[in-house]
Amino acid sequence: MKGNVIKLPAPSLKGDISLEEALAGRRSLREYSGDSLSLEEISQLLWAGQGITKDNLYRTAPSAGALYPLEVYLIAEKVEGLEPGLYHYIPKGHKVKLLKKGKLLKTLAEAALGQRAIHNCSAAFIITGVVKRTSKKYGERAEMYVHIEVGHAGQNILLQAEALGLGAVPMGAFYEERVKAKLGLEKEPFYIIPVGRK
Ligand SMILES: Cc1cc2nc3c(=O)[nH]c(=O)nc-3n(C[C@H](O)[C@H](O)[C@H](O)COP(=O)(O)O)c2cc1C
């Protein structure tokens, strides 16, 4: 770790199942075994969501004008090699930065109608966005574009979870202001995706 920044293991470009099998097998899962996730699995999931794949710019998910308005955060609670806390994913260099220490899933669940999946997952991904980055070029269409992009990134994480044999569920039912206040986030949270072992 260097100044609270942790370099993640390189993502793998080979998986155990085909894209078609991941599409066919993906199901929202809300109960998990409670076992820890590995740092490799977390690395793979973050890369699937927003990892850089070309020219130190282009990413796994498409983005209007390649402006990349999304920022992905991770609440790690049971992850080997990461102390519990809130992390920010940095696509350049494939790193995470520890922003806040502590077990934060209970706090997150409270801002999300107490949903059990958040209570019993091992880690939760929060996809946020900065509409301003896109509105500079696309004006009023930016908000819609950012929402579309959240869907791309979310589906990538869900399919990657399935390919790794993990359970996950996309969640939109939460109070945005409470999530921001409780975690100290400035960006707009759009999706919460708890992940755990099946
Ligand atoms: C925009 C959106 C918001 C959702 N919000 C929640 C949620 O807050 N809690 C939850 O348990 N599931 C949530 N879901 C998951 C849906 O319930 C689930 O996708 C649906 O039942 C279909 O099942 P499947 O994902 O297994 O295909 C959400 C799905 C979408 C697309």
pTM of the model: 0.97
Q: How far apart are CA 84 and CA 126, in angstroms?
A: 15
Ligand 1 atom closest to the Cα of residue 30 is 11
| Gap from CA of 4 to ligand 1 centroid (Å) | 33
CB-ligand 1 contact for 48 (6 Å cutoff): no
- Residue 45, by phi and psi: left (phi above 0), alpha (psi -120 to 50) or beta? alpha
Q: Give the mean model confidence (pLDDT) for residues 136-145.
A: 98
* pLDDT tens digit sequence for 146-173: 999 999 999 999 999 999 999 999 999 9
* pLDDT tens digit sequence for 67-109: 999 999 999 999 999 999 999 999 999 999 999 999 999 999 9
Ligand 1 atom closest to the Cα of residue 154 is 31
* pLDDT tens digit sequence for 25-61: 999 999 999 999 999 999 999 999 999 999 999 999 9
Which ranges of 70-110 does DSSP label H, i.e. alpha helix? 105-110
Instruction: Spell out the domains of the chain, with CATH numbers in brackets.
Output: 5-9+16-197 (3.40.109.10)
Question: Is the confidence at residue 197, as pLDDT, over 80?
Answer: yes
Mutate to test the pocket of ligand 1, among 30, 169, 174, 192 (most ligand atoms within 8 A of CB): 169
